[in-house]
Amino acid sequence: MKIEIPEFALVLLVGASGTGKSSFAARHFLPTEVVSSDRMRGWVADDENDQSATVEAFDLLRTVVEKRLKGRRFTVVDATNVQPESRKGLIALAKKWHALAVAIVFDLPEAVAVERNAQRPDRQFGAGPVRRHMQALKRSLGGMNREGIRYVHRLRSVEEVDAVEIVRTRLWNDRREEVGPFDIIGDVHGCADELETLLDRLGYQVRWNGKAVTVTPPEGRRAIFVGDLVDRGPRSPDALRIAKHMVDSGTAMAVVGNHDDKLKRHLDGRNVKPSHGLAETIEQFAQEPPEFAAEMRTWLDGLISHYVLDGGRLVVAHAGLKEEMQGRASGAVRSFCMYGETTGEIDSFGLPVRWDWAADYKGRAKVVYGHTPVVEANWVNGTLCIDTGCVFGGKLTALRYPELELVDVPARRTYYEPVRPLAAPAADTGMAPHQLDLADVLGKQVIETRHYHHVTVREDNAAAALEVMSRYAVDPRWLIHLPPTMSPAETSAQEGWLERPEEAFAYYGSKGAKILVAEEKHMGSRGLVLLARTQEVAARRFGVHDGARGVIVTRTGRRFFNDSALEAAAMHRIDLAMESSGLWSELATDWVLWDAEILPWSMKAGALVRGQYAAVGAAAVAGLGALSEALAAAQARGVPIDDLAASAAASLADATRYRAAYNRYVAPFGGIEDLRIAPFHLLASEGAVHDGKDHLWHMAAVHRLAEADPALLLATKFRRIDLDDPAEVADAIAWWEAMTAAGGEGMVVKPLDFVARGAKGLLQPAIKCRGREYLRIIYGPHYDRPENLERLKKRGLGHKRSMALREFALGLEALHLFVEHAPLTRVHQAVFGVLAMETEPVDPRL
Amino acid sequence: MLLTITTTHRPATDLGFLLMKHPDNVHSVELSFGTATLFYPEATEERCTAAITLSVDPVELVRGKGRIEDQYVNDRPYAASSLLSVALARLLGTAMGGRSRHRQDLAEQPIPLEARITPLPARGAADLLASLFEPLGYAVQAEPIPLDPAHPEWGDSPYVALTLRGRVRLAALLTHLFVLVPVLDNDKHYYVGEAEVEKLLRKGAGWLETHPARELIVRRYLRGLGGLVRKARSQLDESVAAEEAEEHARRDAAEEVIEKPIRLNDQRMDRVVALIRELGAMSVLDLGCGEGRLLRELLKLPGLGRITGVEVAPRVLAGAGDRLKLDHMPDIKRKRIELLQGSLVYRDDRLKGFDAAAVVEVIEHMEAERLPAFEAAIFGHARPGAVIVTTPNRDYNALFENMAPDALRHPDHRFEWTRAEFRHWAESVGLAHGYGVRFEGIGAEDPVHGCPTQLALFTRAEDVKVAA
């Protein structure tokens, strides 16, 4: 006997003790799929037959079942389940999580069960319980469908039980293997003229032959209709013909809309009010042959509520679909798909107030839908409404997937007056779609990244980051990325040096990255420049409506400038440079994110320079100066103190060098004319994270931008190094020596590829090689004395490098998610993760 | 770092007998953090000078067993500090005790002495040096040391070259230096323990009891020596350092100094508690509860069965738990109170279902650009029955002495609102989220500038349907 069970279902094994449920379960299901009441009794009371543990055991059983159903896991409950009341709670759980409830009933002769129990030493309770179970089962068997169980499979003999073959069937909405490309088409509402034009624009050929239509799609593409093909518009029958033809010929899919469903009910002869444009459709149907209505009734009846496509990355439903309903089937799911959820309130136009599910959406799948007409299609948290009100005089819109391009054709005229004016673009002016939940960031978080698998954020780090994020960081809508920390090179093998480029080259060389890019390292402060081309772009793309066009933030997400006029002035200049360099148009973007170093260092670090660096210099020079004088006097008297005198002189020289070292990075700051910005990565722009471009591409972009405004923007010097060419390597080392001898901070060595991998995975995205004098302000005036250097060379980079990789992966993940229009929550989780990592204690000198 | 001690007593070379260190030799002693050396730059009948210097191992300070510093760039190797006191005790313990094998008479009598320390940290009031040394009979001369000759606009460093001149016993001079050098060192370190108290009493015998600056000396001495205790390593990386609890306390203290004459904080607490009582709330949220001052008062309110304090800084929250002695609370009391780490700019389901919420002196610590998130999280999502918000009244700042016109009361305040600004904000929030608002002031009212603190009481209008 073949039993078909949907691959997402709650299966209740029903039968008296001794009817063989557990061995049946072991034969047909994974051990992890079976939740057994005996097992639960054992867990709470060390005895699988301890009836006094039943209440606690079932509590646990329901908890486990619920966790599984929540996670859309096929679940089998192995308990007697013979009374309706024992099934009731489980059926409620299936309903709550939109799983189909299925019963497999073991309706075997009493004698079989009694005999089997008698053979088991742990079940010496006699025939009484079995008889009671059997009676209870008999009494409720007929009503199990009414209890809410969709399929009841009754096995009446041991032979039948043994002959069972279980076949798992896919849900109709599960089309995860279909990867597209798709053209998803918004609410047509009988606007067949516009549909034909739109299909033509999308490359589909539509040919009519009398009442028969043929549509030929472009190679490999398929259309998906979001529903509401009919009502209000002039050609509902033709819209149906086109869609049905395409679905029948496999060139389209369609989900059911509320109007389609209402038409079907009308065609079924049900008493449906011909309002909201149904009357027009009925009139048009009257012009059609009678078999047309019958054909369409059958077709409409077969439309399903939603599709899950492209490996679960895309969901199409008429009114959208919240995450917990995706890929599930129930009346509630179908209803949500057709109508959405309403709050029960009625607005001033007499229409139900809809719950804005998209504002709270955090799911992985993009949801494309229609139903609610909007002026412009606009992404909200990874969801897109493409009903642009064609029938109301708007336009008919399609989304090309995976390109995520919108294609639309204007309505030829207003066919129908809307009761409620078309809503403004969905990205609204309120906070609603941009609110973040504490539960999504606090506590241990595991974040999936495309470059480095799962990254775990520790609970205490998240707790520490919460304070920084809440009290210091900019609005999370702007915070689409944070940069990773950067490790220095391993300590130099050469005597007298703490860091040199050789070790950085060796690191990459040993990992197989032979082509490197070395960039001059500017001594400034890290800054991310996020710039939208206009205020309108800031509002639409970032959801920020306060008139700002972007933000410049520090590596920990704080506003870089306290002076908002200075920030605005800097961004204005960068905008002009983007314009005159042609980068705006070339990147085909209206926003851009640059990663940069902002100078002078002393502008941000003034308090640090004066309070720590200069103070130490003053103390050192004053004290060592006085000491040297006293030692000279003692030496003049013949006191044997030459060693101390020599050491003091050397220390004084160190202190003088130290003072010179920090002074190289101190410059007066009066305003924008003293500001310098040195971009080094063009991280992202509309539709693209530029982590697929190599560093030469980034440098080329940087140089083009810098040329457009050399007074503000520094063109970072760089060179490409082929490690197999000794001359190039030597040349690069000489370059570093010259730069650092002249007071430069040093250089950053990167593999040619932005995201580089070796045999053992991701490579460090960059390694810094700091100059000898720069290191003096990090490690102290006397760090390069042999006795100090020897000890300082013992330092571990493992933790720093591991953090750099995790932060790199999280930062890029955030960017990718933002570019892909993912929910703000998911972007924020990744950014929050970077900040949390940064609270991890690591040697701050690295 | 250099300390010189000079005498013009004849014969001046008797200084060698007093110190028990021969003027023609170099005297060194090894200490845990480096080497102390004593030598004589000059030694004539007329004038004799002993010089003491320390060679501190800078790497050992950070990496060594007894490490006392987190950063390699620090002034310990160069500036006079508690390390000098340790060196004096080791090198010149006998002399400091007033004993001399060959010149005991001289040791017991005042002689002309000059001490010079370069550099000496002298953070604090300008007349601090004088107030410390002049009562002990010294003429004090302090030459400022510029921060960086390349940047005259930066002014002076926190260090001076100090010269003390007086007729005193050598032992007295050494003891005064032993105690007062750490006092002058900055106060960034922590207090150590009982033993240091005893040491101070011993060294201060005979002069500290009557010193006019006794209080200050005791306080700063004990903290200065704490420098020998390794600073508790911060959980947070410097660059993202949230404020440490101590820093909070210091800044709060600054605000208190400004507001002190009116004991404003007490009045705020009283008023908020009274309002919660009037509201008849059975459950209260204290949003931004800090170290739990309001929570302690709320616990005393009868009928209040659920008190939840929310604080964003984990360390401050832990501090609140300690101060409230949560671990030792009787069960029945413990059940009434809960502390949560939370944030006012994230939605939080745990904050739903409360009768009232107090947001006392919190919003001004939030960036103004985050206020919409705060409003949405509290008024839109948590929706307590009533919300009490207090914040400084900027109008009133005109009345505070020592306050610059555009200054704010607390270094962490991101804004302070006039009464008109506060009213506008609160009424807009009330309108958007269905709350009625009334306003009042806390503290002495000025006819022109109002009260120092302003308060808005929001009450949820049950009949207002919010469709947003």
Find tokens 């403004």 and name the residue: A424
Are B137 and B214 in the same domain? yes
Q: Do A622 and B73 touch (CB under 8 A)?
A: no
- Ramachandran category for residue B59: left, alpha or beta (phi over 0 → left; psi -120 to 50 → alpha): alpha
CA distance B314 to chain A (A): 7
B112 in the same domain as B34: yes
CA-to-CA distance for A682 and A700, rounded, in angstroms? 10
Residues A165 and A282 in one domain: no
Q: Of B173, B197, B228, which residue sits at a domain end?
A: B228
Q: Do A468 and B240 touch (CB under 8 A)?
A: yes
What values do phi and psi take at B360, rounded to 5? -95, 115
Give a yes or no: residue A46 inside a domain: yes
- Measured between beta carbons, the chain B residues lying within 8 angstroms of A459 are none
**Cβ separation of A619 and B55 shorter than 8 Å?**
no
- Tally C-beta pairs within 8 A across A and B: 230
Residue B75's pLDDT band (cuts 50, 70, 90): confident
Chain A: give the shortest CA distance to residue B121, in Å: 9
**What CA–CA distance (Å, rounded) separates A157 from B76?**
90
Residue A476 domain-assigned (yes or no)? yes
pLDDT, tens digit, 9 for 90 and up, residues A473-509: 999 999 999 999 999 999 999 999 999 999 999 999 9
Residues A95 and A198 placed together within one structural domain of the fold: no
Q: How many CB atoms lie within 10 A of CB A166?
A: 16
Least Cα separation, residue A779 to chain B (angstroms): 5
DSSP H or E run through A515:
strand A515-521
Nearest to B443 by CA among B255, B267, B266: B267
Does B75 contact A616 at a Cβ distance shorter than 8 Å? yes
Residues 227-256 of B with CB under 8 A from A: 233-240, 242
Q: What CATH number corresponds to the domain at position B80?
A: 3.30.1610.20
CA distance A356 to chain B (A): 9
Domain with B292 in it = 246-460
Whether residue A29 is found in the same domain as residue A154: yes
**Which of A355, A431, A444 best tests the B interface by mutation, with the highest count of B CBs <10 A?**
A431
Please check whether residue B93 lies inside any domain of the structure.
Answer: yes
The CATH number given to whatever domain includes residue A75 is 3.40.50.300
- Of A688-702, A735-749, B66-80, B210-224, the range with the lowest mean pLDDT is B210-224
Question: Domain boundary residue among A134, A169, A204?
Answer: A169
- Tell if the CB–CB gap between B26 and A613 is shorter than 8 Å: no
B37 and B166 part of one domain: yes
A174-175 and A100-106: which strand pairing? unpaired
Across the interface, whether the CB atoms of B55 and A647 are under 8 A apart is answered yes
Residue B190 sits in the same domain as residue B301:
no
Neighbours of A86 (CB within 10 A): 18
Give chain B's domain count: 2
Determine the structural domain holding residue A623 and report its residue range: 601-663
The answer on B435 and B293 residing in a single domain is yes
Confidence at B258, pLDDT banded by 50, 70, 90: low
Identify whether the C-beta of residue B41 lies closer than 8 Å to the C-beta of residue A638: no
Whether A444 has its CB under 8 Å from any CB of chain B: the answer is: no
Residue B238 in any domain: the answer is: no
CA distances from A509 to A355, A723, A729, A732, A755 (A): 57, 7, 11, 15, 16
Q: What does the pLDDT read at residue A239? A: 97
Give the three-class secondary structure for A170.
coil
Indicate the DSSP class of residue A100. Answer: E
Does residue A332 share a domain with residue A201? yes
Q: Do A616 and B74 touch (CB under 8 A)?
A: yes
Whether A498 and A775 have beta carbons less than 8 Å apart is answered as: yes
SS (H, E, C) chain B: CEEEEEECCCCCCHHHHHHCCCCCCCEEEEECCEEEEEEEEEECCCCEEEEEEEEECHHHHHHCCCCCCCCCCCCCCCCCCHHHHHHHHHHCHHHHCCCCCCCHHHHCCCEEEEEEEEEEECCCCCCHHHHHHHHHCCEEEEEEEECCCCCHHHCEEEEEEEEEEEEECHHHHHHHHHHHHHHHCCCCCCCCCHHHHHHHHHHCCCCCCCCCCHHHHHHHHHHHHHHHCCCCCCCCCHHHCCCCHHHHHHHHHHHHHHHHHHCHHHHHHHHHHHHHHHHCCCEEEEECCCCCHHHHHHHCCCCCCEEEEEECCHHHHHHHHHHCCHHHCCHHHHCCEEEEECCCCCECHHHCCCCEEEEECCHHHCCHHHHHHHHHHHHHHHCCCEEEEEEEEHHHHHHCCCCCCCCCCCCCCCCCECHHHHHHHHHHHHHHHCEEEEEEEECCCECCCECCEEEEEEEECCCCCCCC
- At B187 the pLDDT is 47
3 state DSSP class of A644: helix
Of B157, B341, B346, the CB nearest to A437: B346
pLDDT for the residue A111: 87
Residues A164 and A210 in one domain: no
Mean pLDDT score of chain B, rounded to an integer?
85
- Gap between the Cα atoms of B338 and B326, Å rounded: 9
- A263 and A400 co-located in one domain: yes
Q: Do B73 and A778 touch (CB under 8 A)?
A: yes
In the prediction, which pLDDT does B253 show?
55
Number of domains in chain A: 4
Interface subset of A 786-845, CB within 8 angstroms of B = 788, 791-792, 835, 838-842, 844-845
Q: Please compute the mean of the pLDDT values over residues B371-389 and round it to a whole number.
A: 96
Whether A423 and A445 share a structural domain: no
Contact assignment for B313 to A779 by CB distance below 8 Å: no
Does some domain include residue B240?
Answer: no
To 10 degrees, what angle do helices A615-636 and A642-663 make? 160
CATH of the domain at B305: 3.40.50.150
Exposure string of A501-520, with b = 16+ CB inside 10 Å and e = fewer, is bbbbbebbeebebebbbbbb
Within-domain flag for A20: yes
Same domain, A419 and A478: no
Inform me whether the C-beta atom of residue A739 falls under 8 Å from chain B C-beta atoms.
no
With respect to residue B235, please indicate whether it lies within any of the assigned structural domains: no
Token look-up 């919409």 returns B372
Contact by Cβ (8 Å): A684, A593: yes
pLDDT of residue B237: 25
Same domain, A425 and A450: no
Low-confidence residues in chain A, pLDDT < 50: 425-429
Please check whether residues A230 and A379 belong to one and the same domain. Answer: yes
Where a domain ends, among A169, A202, A226? A169
Contacts of A614 in chain B (CB under 8 A): 147-148, 151, 154, 157
Q: B29 near B87, Cβ under 8 Å?
A: yes
- The token pair at B67 is 């490490």
Chain B positions in Cβ-Cβ contact with residue A625 (cut-off 8 Å) = 118
Q: Is the residue at B76 inside a domain?
A: yes
CB within 8 Å: A615 and B159? yes
The pLDDT of residue B242 is above 50: no
Within a domain: A580:
no
Note whether residue A332 is domain-resident: yes
pLDDT of residue A842: 85
Q: Is the same domain home to B195 and B251?
A: no
Asked if A777's CB is within 8 angstroms of B347's CB, the reply is: no
Q: Which amino acid is at A559?
A: R
Contact A353, A345 (CB under 8 A): yes
Q: Is the pLDDT of residue B445 over 80?
A: yes
B224: confidence class by pLDDT, cuts 50, 70, 90: very low
Q: Is B318 on the interface with A (CB under 8 A)?
A: no
Q: How far apart are CA A215 and CA A125, in angstroms?
A: 70
Residue B226: the pLDDT is 37
| Burial environment of residue B187 by CB neighbours within 10 A (0 to 12, 13 to 18, 19 or more) | middle
CATH of the domain at A302: 3.60.21.10
Whether residues A359 and A454 share a domain: the answer is: no
Minimal-distance CA residue of chain A relative to B119: A623
Q: B234 in a domain, yes or no?
A: no
Of A142, A169, A196, the last residue of a domain is A169
Question: Could you tell me if B158 and B266 lie in one domain?
Answer: no
A518 lies in some domain? no
**8 Å CB contact of A792 and B150:** no
Report the chain A residue with the minimal C-alpha distance to residue B365. Answer: A471
Q: How far apart are CA B458 and CA B374, in angstroms?
A: 15
Residue A842's SS3 state is coil
E strand intervals along A686-731: 688-689, 718-722
A806 located within any domain: yes
The answer to whether the beta carbons of residues A447 and A532 sit under 8 Å apart is no
- pLDDT class for B254, splitting at 50, 70, 90? low
Q: Is B237 contained in some domain? A: no
d(CA A3, CA A164): 7
Instruction: Flag if A475 and B369 touch (Cβ within 8 Å).
Output: yes
pLDDT, residue A720, reads 97
The type of residue at A135 is Q
Q: Can you give the pLDDT at residue B257?
A: 55
Is any Cβ of chain A less than 8 angstroms from the Cβ of B400? no
* A142 and A196 co-located in one domain: no
Could you tell me where the beta strands, DSSP code E, fall in A550-697? 550-553, 591-599, 676-685, 688-689
Q: In terms of domains, do B344 and B381 share one?
A: yes
Q: Give the pLDDT confidence score for residue B96 in this predicted structure.
A: 94
Write the DSSP assignment of A770-835 as a string of letters. Answer: E-HHHHHHHH-TTTTSHHHHHHHT----HHHHHHHHHHHHHHHHHHHHHHTT--HHHHHHHHHHHH
- Examine the domain organization and report whether B344 and B425 are in the same domain: yes
Task: Clarify whether residues B224 and B252 are in a common domain.
Answer: no
- Report the predicted TM-score, pTM, of the whole model to 2 decimal places: 0.87
